[in-house]
């Protein structure tokens, strides 16, 4: 078994919250709060995913104050440029020095009818511009009942990897739809079971080396009180946090999970 050298990633998905002025104040406070508490950013990476309209402000602040925070878009177009009203291309995100982009979040899949094919095309578009796609997968409560815990996330991941080669830098986020915003997180054991299945899928499709280095996150009602349990699991390398990422104290406590784990 390979030694785990994956740097944990705690990612905050703001969804449609905080305008660009609020984003500036929030990111400044978050960085100060983490620095004040002695957070080691090289030991646990921190990323925020603001709305598109905030990204330029976040970029300017991060660059001016040399903040050790990563950031990215919550979605990306399959297209490069052209007559696609309302869309944002990977080239535009790269121009704002985004490192990451969320792809295939369940809210995109359900509210905007994003199919596995669209998700795969977005992953390819992101990689073309050297953005690290955070590929979101997860089953609904009905899927869980019908197919068990891993079948749907594994199938979604296989489909999303259609155009990916084994040189790609990717992150996978397992987010059971029933756990998102419900206050009902999966248990660490459930998250580990699916994360392990997703890692096996990565090994099958992209090879063992990629599987060993790729971070698999858990998302769905992650809070300061439950993060430690997830982070103890060998195949869980971080969290994709929604609601709790909008509260600086709560998000900082998630980022500083080592304190709870006692590492
Ligand atoms: O992208 C984040 C997920 O949708 C989780 O959201 P939540 O932490 O509010 O459950």
Q: Which residues of the chain have pLDDT under 70?
A: 1-2, 261-263
**CA 39 to ligand 1 center in whole angstroms:** 23
As for ligand 1, residues whose beta carbon falls within 6 Å of it are: 13, 105, 175, 180-181, 219-222, 240-244
Question: Exposed e or buried b for every residue in 85-114, given b needs 16+ CB within 10 A?
Answer: eeebbbbbbbebebbbbbbbbbbbbeeeeb
Q: Where are the beta strands (DSSP E) in 114-234?
A: 132-137, 171-174, 215-219
The reply to whether 91 falls in a domain is yes
What's the chain's Rg over C-alpha atoms? Answer: 17
Residue-wise DSSP of 96-120? TT--EEEES-HHHHHHS---HHHHH
Domain presence at residue 186: yes
Q: Number of folded domains in the chain?
A: 1
Is 35 part of a structural domain of the chain?
yes
Task: For ligand 1, pick from 15, 102, 217, 250 the residue to mutate: most ligand atoms within 8 Å of CB.
Answer: 15
**69 is a domain residue:** yes
Nearest atom of ligand 1 to the alpha carbon of 222? 8
Q: Residue 262's pLDDT is what?
A: 56
Which helix or strand (DSSP H or E) is residue 83 part of? none
Q: Which residues contact 25 (CB under 8 A, 6 or more apart)?
A: none
Number of C-beta neighbours around residue 22 at 10 A = 15
Q: According to the annotation, is 224 in a ligand binding site?
A: no
Whether residue 181 is annotated as binding a ligand: the answer is yes
In a domain, 4, yes or no: no
Q: What is the pLDDT, as a whole number, of residue 2?
A: 65
Binding residue per annotation — 178? no
Of 73, 103, 174, 181, best ligand 1 pocket probe by most atoms within 8 Å of the beta carbon? 181
pLDDT for res 258 = 84
Q: 141, 150, 152, 222: which is closest to 185 by C-alpha?
A: 222
Q: Is 178 left (phi over 0), alpha (psi -120 to 50) or beta?
A: alpha
CB atoms under 10 Å from CB of 29, counted, come to 13
How far is it, in rounded angstroms, from Cα 244 to Cα 60?
A: 25
pLDDT, one tens digit per residue, over 36-82 is 999 999 999 999 999 999 999 999 999 999 999 999 999 999 999 99
Does 165 fall in a domain?
Answer: yes
Whether 105 sits among the annotated catalytic residues: the reply is yes
114 is catalytic: no
Owning domain of residue 201: 9-261
Residue 20 forms part of a structural domain: yes
| CATH number for the domain that contains residue 30 | 3.20.20.70
In-domain check, residue 3:
no
CA distance 139 to 116: 13
The pLDDT assigned to 84 comes to 98
């Amino acid at each position: 078994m390979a030694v785990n050298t994956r740097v944990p990633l705690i990612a905050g998905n703001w969804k449609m919250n905080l305008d660009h002025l609020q984003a500036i104040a929030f990111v400044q406070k978050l960085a100060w709060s983490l620095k004040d508490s002695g957070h080691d950013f090289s030991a646990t990476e921190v990323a925020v995913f603001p709305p598109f309209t905030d990204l330029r402000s976040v970029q300017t602040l991060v660059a001016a104050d040399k903040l050790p925070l990563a950031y990215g878009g919550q979605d990306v177009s399959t297209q490069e440029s052209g007559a696609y009203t309302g869309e944002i291309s990977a080239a535009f995100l790269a121009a704002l020095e985004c490192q990451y982009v969320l792809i295939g979040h369940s809210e995109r899949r359900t509210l905007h009818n994003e199919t596995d094919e669209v998700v795969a095309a977005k992953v390819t578009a992101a990689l073309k511009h050297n953005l690290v796609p955070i590929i979101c997968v997860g089953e609904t409560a009905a899927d869980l009942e019908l197919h068990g815990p891993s079948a749907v996330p594994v199938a979604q991941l296989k489909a999303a990897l259609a155009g990916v080669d084994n040189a790609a830098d990717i992150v996978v986020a397992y987010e059971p739809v029933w756990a998102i915003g419900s206050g009902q997180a999966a248990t660490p054991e459930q998250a580990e079971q699916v994360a392990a299945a997703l890692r096996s899928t990565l090994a099958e499709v992209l090879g063992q080396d990629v599987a060993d280095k790729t971070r698999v996150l858990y998302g769905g009602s992650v809070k300061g009180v439950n993060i430690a349990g997830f982070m103890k699991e060998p195949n869980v390398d971080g969290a994709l946090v929604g609601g709790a990422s909008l509260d600086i104290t709560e998000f900082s406590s998630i980022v500083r999970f080592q304190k709870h784990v006692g590492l």
